[in-house]
Chain A
Amino acid sequence: MEKTTLFDKIWDAHVVKSVPAGPDVFFIDKHFIHEVTSPVAFLNLEKRGIGVKYPHRTIATPDHNVPTVDQDQTIKDKLSRMQVEKLRHNCAKYGIELHDLGSAHHGIVHVIGPELGVTQPGMTIVCGDSHTSTHGAFGAIAFGIGTSEVEMVLATQCIMQSKPKKMRISVEGELGNGVTSKDIILYIISKISAAGATGYFVEYAGSAIRSLSMEARMTICNMSIEMGARGGLIAPDETTFEFLKGKQYAPKGEEWDQAVAHWKTLKTDEGAVFDKELTFDASDIEPMITYGTNPGMGIKVKDSIPTTEGMEGSNKKSYLKSLDYMGFQPGEPIKGKQVDYVFVGSCTNGRIEDIRAVAQFVKGRKKADNITAWIVPGSREVEKLAHEEGLVKILEEAGFELRQPGCSACLAMNDDKIPSGKYAVSTSNRNFEGRQGPGARTMLASPLTVAAVAVTGRITDPREVFDN
């Protein structure tokens, strides 16, 4: 029998038809929608006079533009309010399940999908959001799409897709103390660049990946898009099944056993061939931070910002433009730089495990005076657990401000903006110019590093604070 990859197995099982010299008609099991990239899709359905083909395969929540305070009140920003109201209207009209503001499972779409057990191994999942790759942590093919494609899924449950190439990235060995899955992915992207996996779908493998919790795996798959990959996935295993068991939408009883039996077959055959294979040594990975304006511009916290040696032309120009925006010089150390804001949250690191890590670190400590510290749970469920576990109390005593769930300062569509020129160390996924507000200077790092920065007020290696 032909040796195939996990990606092939799932992809091929979802091809309705292959168009000659064209893309595949690709069937989508689950579709997530939010308020920002769906309204025009619904509008176009109306213009065409067609409806939603399989409404039970779509799940909605408002997350991108929602305020993170006073969510029980009417949204003050008129345009944001209109988008959220449009989402409510469209969900009611077409019979789509909506997890609205204030409801038990409201939150960032990529946090609530797994939390509800909607996300399952072997599925195809799309959403009008590039971080849909998060769901790949469960052994699903999950990726972001544009609004035209949102419309296609609503209308037909299919999109037209050309099959990407396959890449396997293995991380072997044991991670050191203070090194998290965020450091793994920032390390990988720094090695292969922000475009290094464009055209590929990535499978993450190796002992270091296998040892990770589901939350940690989600962080890695989430940032696949930041190296240009369409998505990333990890073969399901006992960790996956354990996480899903008992979740609201997970199969129950006999169906559960059947599902697990099937999920156990979802792995890459030994000897299957990838278009590209990369292997990294876990022991070389240390706490990471970005210094520039794309996620590929990352270094170990202990290292210096690269010089322009070997760069020329538009490459050098783009590099210097980026450093100029950040207010940094080539060749200078990043450690010790003063910081103004820390942000813990987003679909990358806004899950309960992330909040626990930060709380454990700052327990009995206080944030530095120069730091404004925001912590934004990824969902109501995360918020509830954080209260129940006493984490909120610890964080508030340390001087953190806990806000309500949403995408928040990750993309600053709401009022959670970092002021122009200020430095923020964030657990989110993008350090693009203006991403956290016009003129804001973002550095990406793990929740542990962010906690260390909050306490010291400066770029700090978390391992140095542990020791004290």
Chain B
Amino acid sequence: MAYDKFTILTSTAVPLPTENVDTDQIIPARFLKATEREGFGDNLFRDWRYDVEGNPKKDFVLNDPTYTGKILVAGKNFGSGSSREHAVWALYDYGFRCVVSSFFADIFKNNCLNIGVLPVTVSPEFADKLLSAIEENPNTQIEVNLPKQKITLLSTGDSESFDINDYKKANMQNGFDDIDYLLNMSLEIDAFVETR
């Protein structure tokens, strides 16, 4: 369904430098049994966040009040594995609107764009810069400017531009989704089927 519009997001960020974080970690399969899109944020990173008794694990970043914000700065190859969109629903439901990484898994990236969570791919060097800045000062503000396709570390002014295709960019800025587009193409799709 159509989602919130995304233009410029300025926020502190949560660091998660672990590499190859798969969608089973973002939301374990046993929490996929809902028939509605609600409440997934509670189980975001469930097994890294809570022990078997359900007590918060102190050493996991989401349990550390030092780090908060709408941006997740993640390690390389984030979102690999299962195609479960629930992983993005969980990130969104928890409050994240943007994930930054030097490398995303394909399906996860598509799912993000379809839900309205902006995936921002940066160079490994810029990712390291962000992580060090957050570590040094957890109140570090990061600006993600979609119209300008630019991510900026406000404390130093360091910035980098990022890619997104014009179609998806317009969708994110206007809060449209692909179905709106496809439904408008109904006649063209029918004509295509006729030729087959």
Does A pair with B?
A: yes
Spell out A's residues near B (CB within 8 Å).
Answer: 16-17, 19-23, 25, 27, 36-37, 39-40, 43-44, 47-48, 50, 53-54, 64-65, 77, 79-80, 82-83, 86, 128-130, 143-149, 151-152, 155-160, 162, 164, 194-195, 198-199, 225-226, 228, 230, 293-294, 296, 314-315, 317-318, 321, 411-413, 420, 430, 432-435, 438-439
User: In whole Å, how far is A31's beta carbon from the nearest beta carbon of chain B?
Assistant: 14
A43-B35, A228-B106 given as contacts; is B19 within 8 A of A147 (CB)? Answer: no
B20's nearest neighbour on chain A, judged by CB, is A294
CA separation between A152 and B185, bound complex, in Å? 12
Residue in B22, B35, B81 whose CB lies within 8 Å of A86: B35
> B182 to A156, Cβ gap below 8 A?
yes
> B83 to A17, Cβ gap below 8 A?
no
CA separation between A321 and B75, bound complex, in Å? 14
> A27 to B81, Cβ gap below 8 A?
no
> B178 to A152, Cβ gap below 8 A?
yes
Spell out B's residues near A (CB within 8 Å).
Answer: 1, 17-20, 22, 24-25, 28-30, 32-37, 47, 52, 75-77, 80-86, 88, 103-107, 110-111, 114-115, 165-168, 177-179, 181-183, 185-186, 188-189, 192-193
List residues of chain A with CB within 8 A of the CB of B166: 20-22
Interface centre among B105, B178, B193 (most CB of A within 10 A): B178
9 contacts between A and B (CB under 8 A): A21-B166, A37-B83, A40-B85, A145-B83, A146-B114, A149-B178, A156-B182, A318-B19, A411-B82
User: In whole Å, how far is A100's beta carbon from the nearest beta carbon of chain B?
Assistant: 17
CA separation between A341 and B1, bound complex, in Å? 43
CA separation between A430 and B83, bound complex, in Å? 13
> A146 to B106, Cβ gap below 8 A?
no
List residues of chain A with CB within 8 A of the CB of B186: 53, 156
List residues of chain B with CB within 8 A of the CB of A144: 82-83, 107
Apart from A27-B192, A145-B107, list 16 A-B contacts with CB within 8 A: A16-B189, A17-B185, A23-B168, A40-B35, A53-B186, A64-B32, A77-B33, A82-B35, A148-B179, A156-B179, A158-B185, A230-B107, A413-B33, A430-B22, A432-B24, A432-B25
List residues of chain A with CB within 8 A of the CB of B75: 314, 318
> B178 to A148, Cβ gap below 8 A?
yes
List residues of chain A with CB within 8 A of the CB of B179: 48, 148, 151-152, 155-156
Interface centre among A44, A50, A129, A411 (most CB of B within 10 A): A411
List residues of chain A with CB within 8 A of the CB of B193: 27, 54, 157
List residues of chain B with CB within 8 A of the CB of A159: 178, 182
